[in-house]
């Protein structure tokens, strides 16, 4: 069924039941002369508070608009349901990869005209962070907080293994060799400490292809899952399973606790190196404040120095849902967040970098993350792993995750696993592009 048609007549009642109670509990009394903007955001805890502080500043800065922020779980699904049921919020904080899917469904409003009137331009942003909010030539989402990843590594473990903590691995061959030196295995063959695990944290199993120069889509009509660069990437990944045994690695990793806990593999010092984002500092400080660590760019293939300083980037975006009662007022708040003052307060509150090119002198001085300059610089790299702008990306990513598991369990060769993805996803891309063509949205 074409979700763009919004043929879901029963959803209004479902959505009202799902959100009515929580909204009633959080709604503030109407203030005379003020327009209330309902803002749904995915964050909780200190991340939510950081945005709430910005909301409070905005509300105090003028007397026409009152933004009421509400934390909503599974926001990408619930917002779409609310739009379908004609009860959307005025503003939604979504994930970058949601933009194309929502644009395909006509679920969010294009912001081009409002940006033009407000003087908001692409040149004000680090290019990748503006581009994430663009779908088929129109801007649908403006940046909230950005993310980039780097290799986090335990310097104490490096020293104990006779490695120089100031010389992290630069290539993937070096990463494998360093991991071998750091990994500990007992006489029975059981892994007791891992240098590196390609499956950890498991959120971006698709990133290995781009780090080896591969792509998942050619930007047009072809799925490129089994391109040579992707095959090479997952052959490198499978080396770990071949070296230690798929069962051993799976068993060892299963002993890790939740990411946001002291039992996190890296925080508990069961894992020496892990790709993680700028946000990792917050969890180190909270759960393992005495951890000795550093961060460096992700490695690159030995014969591809042109791929050095690669990173995966993602972005939290602010969108105005279709059917919003107060789109102009919602955009006034978005505009406030895009200001250097608003953006830096938000990003400092969440301990992240800023998506803006211009950075005030005090931003980095105030920032507690000792590697914030690295995370701020990496998004300018030419080697960026960015989710493809495909409405079918969630399904595609699920296919990649399944293939990744089969590769790590040595049930398939990387070529077989990627060929299988290619065979399944190409017809789905064909159907997707046909739907867009019928709707005049190529």
What pLDDT is recorded for position 5?
Answer: 34
What are the φ and ψ backbone dihedral angles of 66, each rounded to 5 degrees?
A: -120, 110
Element (H, E) at 66: strand 65-71
What does the alpha-carbon distance between residue 425 and residue 412 come to, in Å, rounded to a whole number? 18
Could you tell me where the DSSP H helices lie in 32-74? 45-61
- All CATH 3.40.190.10 domain ranges in the chain, comma separated: 3-18+32-147+314-375, 148-312+388-433
Separation between Cα atoms, residue 279 and residue 325, nearest integer Å:
34
Res 8: pLDDT: 36
What does the alpha-carbon distance between residue 182 and residue 200 come to, in Å, rounded to a whole number?
16
* Burial class of residue 272 (count of CB atoms within 10 Å of its CB; 0-12, 13-18, 19+): buried
What is the rounded distance in angstroms from the CA atom of residue 368 to the CA atom of residue 219? 39
H or E, element range at 400: helix 393-408
Decide if 153 contacts 293 (C-beta within 8 A).
yes
Q: How far is CA 411 from CA 13, 198, 247, 248, in A?
A: 46, 16, 12, 15
384 contacts 313 by C-beta, under 8 angstroms: yes
Has domain 3-18+32-147+314-375 been given CATH number 3.40.190.10? yes
Classify domain 148-312+388-433 by CATH number: 3.40.190.10
Rounded Cα gap, residues 293 and 352, in angstroms: 18
Backbone φ, ψ for residue 215 (5° rounding): -135, 160
DSSP 8-class letter at 220: S
Count of beta carbons in the 10 Å neighbourhood of residue 309:
18
pLDDT value of residue 247 = 86
Q: What are phi and psi of 38, to 5 degrees?
A: -85, 120
- β-pairing, 273-277 with 91-95? unpaired
Which backbone phi and psi does 301 adopt, to 5 degrees?
Answer: -60, 145
Per-residue pLDDT 10s for the chain (442 aa) are 333 333 333 344 444 444 543 444 344 555 568 999 999 999 999 999 999 999 999 999 999 999 999 999 999 999 999 999 999 999 999 999 999 999 999 999 999 999 999 999 999 999 999 999 999 999 999 999 999 999 999 999 999 999 999 999 999 999 999 999 999 999 998 999 999 999 999 999 999 999 999 999 999 999 999 999 999 999 999 999 999 998 889 899 999 999 999 999 999 999 999 999 999 999 999 999 999 999 999 999 999 999 999 999 999 999 999 999 999 999 999 999 999 999 999 999 999 999 999 999 899 999 999 999 999 999 999 999 999 999 999 999 999 999 999 999 999 999 999 999 999 999 999 999 999 999 877 6
User: Which phi and psi (to 5°) does residue 332 adopt?
Assistant: -60, -40
N-to-C CA span, the chain: 19
Residue 274: in which H helix or E strand, if any? Answer: strand 273-277
> CA nearest 297: which of 281, 279, 273, 321?
273
> d(Cα 91, Cα 114) in Å, to the nearest integer?
14
Length of the chain counted residue by residue: 442
Nearest CA among 113, 7, 177 for reference residue 331: 113
Give me the pLDDT at residue 442, please: 65
Listed in sequence order, the residues at least 6 apart from 359 whose beta carbon sits closer than 8 Å to its beta carbon are 340, 344, 376
Here the tokens at position 123 are 């040149």
235 token code pair:
């052959």
Among all chains, which residue has been given the structure tokens 């791929």? 307
Longest CA pairwise span in the chain (Å)? 74
Arithmetic mean of pLDDT over the chain: 93
What is the C-alpha separation between 41 and 404, in angstroms, rounded? 31
DSSP per-residue letters across 73-99: TTHHHHHHHHHHTT---SEEEEETTHH
Please tell me the predicted confidence (pLDDT) of residue 33.
83
pLDDT at 439: 83
């Amino acid at each position: 069924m074409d979700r763009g048609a919004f043929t879901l007549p029963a959803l209004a009642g479902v959505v009202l039941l799902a959100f009515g109670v929580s909204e009633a509990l959080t709604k503030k009394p109407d203030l005379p002369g003020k327009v209330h903007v309902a803002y749904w955001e995915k964050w909780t805890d200190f991340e939510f508070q950081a945005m709430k502080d910005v909301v409070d500043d905005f509300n105090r800065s003028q007397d026409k608009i009152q933004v009421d922020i509400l934390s909503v779980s599974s926001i990408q699904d619930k917002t779409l349901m609310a739009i379908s049921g004609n009860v959307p919020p005025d503003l939604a904080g979504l994930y970058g990869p949601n933009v194309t899917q929502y644009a395909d469904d006509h679920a969010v409003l294009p912001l081009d005209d409002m940006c033009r009137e407000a003087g908001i331009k692409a040149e004000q942003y680090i290019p990748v962070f503006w581009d994430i909010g663009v779908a088929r030539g129109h801007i649908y989402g403006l940046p909230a907080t950005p993310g980039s990843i780097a290799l986090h590594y335990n310097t104490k473990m490096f020293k104990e293994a006779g490695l120089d903590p100031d010389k992290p691995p630069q290539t993937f061959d070096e990463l494998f060799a360093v991991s071998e030196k750091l990994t500990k295995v007992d006489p029975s063959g059981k892994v007791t400490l891992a240098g590196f695990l390609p499956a950890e944290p498991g959120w971006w199993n698709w990133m290995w292809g781009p780090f080896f120069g591969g792509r998942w889509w050619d930007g047009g009509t072809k799925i490129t899952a089994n391109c040579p660069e992707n095959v090479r990437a997952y052959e490198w990944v499978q080396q770990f399973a071949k070296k230690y045994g798929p069962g051993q690695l799976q068993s060892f990793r299963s002993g890790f606790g939740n990411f946001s806990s002291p039992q996190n593999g890296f925080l508990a010092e069961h894992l020496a190196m892990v790709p993680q984002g700028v946000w990792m500092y917050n969890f180190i400080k909270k759960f393992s404040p005495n951890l000795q660590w550093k961060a460096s760019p992700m490695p690159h293939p030995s014969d591809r120095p042109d791929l050095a300083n690669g990173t995966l980037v993602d972005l939290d975006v602010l969108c105005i849902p279709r059917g919003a009662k107060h789109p102009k007022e919602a955009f006034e708040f978005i505009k406030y967040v895009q200001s250097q003052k608003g953006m830096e307060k938000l990003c400092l509150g969440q301990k992240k970098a800023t998506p803006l090119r211009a950075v005030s002198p005090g931003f980095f001085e105030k920032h507690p993350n000792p590697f914030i300059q690295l995370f701020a610089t990496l998004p300018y790299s030419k080697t960026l792993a960015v989710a493809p702008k495909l409405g079918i990306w969630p399904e595609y990513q699920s296919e990649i995750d399944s293939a990744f598991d089969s590769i790590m369990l040595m049930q398939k060769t990387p070529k077989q696993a990627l060929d299988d993805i290619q065979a399944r996803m190409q017809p789905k891309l064909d159907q997707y592009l046909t739907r867009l063509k019928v709707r005049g949205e190529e």
